Structure formats: structure tokens, C-alpha cells
């Protein structure tokens, strides 16, 4: 894989509150070709943000969201990836 500046930010939200129209649970994932990055912490002062271990990302998501609901939503990203490969 070549060097690329392509990156993505994925927001996952659940528990819409009627007033004041906010989400009870939310998580933001930042990623690039090297992996998942800390979206709020490391690298804000101009240094290279650290790559998060997949187990840390998994733990964070499962502490916030229901596993089955999360997998059902993320399955669509897997389907998109497979469609892009062909």
C-alpha cells in the first residue's frame, strides 16, 4: 500500500434525546491507512498522532454501544468495502 493522506472520521451515535436534540452515547473514530488514531488526544500539538490498538478501540465501542446494534451498522461498511474491491 502506498503512502496516502486519505483519512476518515466515523461518528457513531445512539440514544437520541428529544430535548435538546442530543445523543446519549457517541463515539468518534479517526482512521487512515495505518489504523485507528486518537481523535482528541495525541498529535494536537503538531506531533504524529498515535495509532490505537484494535483491542482498545473494541473495548471503547463495547463500553458505549450494544454489540449487536453496532455490528449491524458496521456490516454496511464491510459490504461497501467488498463492493469497492470489485
Q: Tell me: the pLDDT tens digits for 46-85?
A: 445 578 889 999 999 999 999 999 999 999 999 999 999 9
Percent of the chain with pLDDT over 90: 63
Length reported for the chain: 86
Give the integer Cα–Cα distance in Å for 82 and 86: 7
pTM over 0.75? The answer is yes
Give the integer Cα–Cα distance in Å for 64 and 14: 9
Give the integer Cα–Cα distance in Å for 17 and 80: 30
**Tens of pLDDT along 33-43?**
989 987 765 54
**Tens of pLDDT along 6-32?**
999 999 999 988 878 789 999 999 999
Amino acid at each position: 500500500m502506498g503512502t496516502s493522506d486519505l483519512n476518515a472520521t466515523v461518528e457513531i451515535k445512539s440514544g437520541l434525546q428529544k430535548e435538546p436534540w442530543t445523543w446519549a452515547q457517541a463515539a468518534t473514530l479517526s482512521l487512515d491507512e495505518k489504523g485507528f488514531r486518537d481523535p482528541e488526544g495525541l498529535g494536537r500539538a503538531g506531533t504524529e498522532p498515535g495509532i490505537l490498538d484494535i483491542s482498545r478501540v473494541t473495548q471503547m465501542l463495547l463500553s458505549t454501544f450494544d454489540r449487536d446494534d453496532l455490528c449491524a451498522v458496521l456490516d454496511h461498511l464491510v459490504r461497501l468495502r467488498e463492493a469497492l474491491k470489485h
